[in-house]
Amino acid sequence: MLAAQAPGDDARWFVVEQAGRVLVFDNLDTVAATSVFIDITARVQDGGERGLLGMAFDPQFATNGRVFLHYTRDNNDQLQSVLAAYTSPDGGATLDPASEAILLTVDQPFDNHNGGHLAFGPDGMLYMALGDGGSAGDPQNNAQNTHNLLGKILRIDVSSGTDYTIPTDNRWAGNARCSTGAGSAECPEIHCLRSAQPLAIQLRCLDRRSLGRRRRPGRLGGSGPRRRRRQLRMAIPGGRALLRPRRAAARLKAVATRSSIPTPNTITASAPR
């Protein structure tokens, strides 16, 4: 389950359900009811590690009403991860399922390790977490393969709302996009790789002097035991990202108050313990 607030709006909480709904309720101690922000359960293949896995409000949500969702679906018997954009028809009260614009799809070879979270960084780019495709021990070596998007953290520019572009400072920015999950060359969407199942992205904006030694660009963690790949660090322009699935829910809200990232752009609760 994910809980978040929209940029500039601390009066409401939004809760993402794995089955495909997002609920919203007032930020009041006396609140007793919720309403549906969006319901795409008919499109979502859920269960296990599948489902509606991530949500990120556009930093300009107050003016453009745009929200990005990451979910899994059954596409003619092929499990896919989908990144899609939606817009609000009523000033942010709800999202219109019919407004869906699919930006990216990735075929999943197994039904686990689908990753999930979405988050905007302090650089304004959207970061998307994808698992290595599943089974156990990454039998297809996806996390090491730079020609596909599985087992990666992606960094893309979604400012157009209905498509995405590659930031010019991405490592392989000159290559053709891998908008269906794979390509003939290194995928330019890749920011970091070697991630088995990144369940939560925590972004903290830090002064460069506080970063210390940074990993080689494009590498995240290592290819060692699973426990090492589930607690990872990655460098981002202007900041650092920590992927700590079991600790993120407890720490993100506190981190937001100490950092320069606005609270609405921070995931304030994440994967269940």
For the record, the structure tokens of 59 come out as: 């930093």
Give the model's confidence band at 245: pLDDT under 50 very low, under 70 low, under 90 confident, else very high: very low
> To which residue do tokens 């090491």 refer?
144
Can you state the percent helix, strand and coil of the chain, rounding each to 5? 10, 30, 55
Average pLDDT over residues 180-184: 90
Rounded to whole angstroms, what are the CA distances from 258 to 75, 115, 254, 263?
Answer: 42, 27, 7, 10
Mean model confidence pLDDT for the chain:
76
pTM of the model: 0.75
Rounded to whole angstroms, what are the CA distances from 126 to 161, 226, 243?
Answer: 11, 26, 15
User: Does 255 have pLDDT greater than 70?
Assistant: no
User: Does 28 have pLDDT greater than 70?
Assistant: yes
Q: What is the pLDDT of residues 184-242, one digit of tens each?
A: 999 999 988 766 665 556 554 333 332 233 334 344 433 333 433 343 344 444 333 33
Lowest mean pLDDT among 38-47, 149-158, 222-231: 222-231
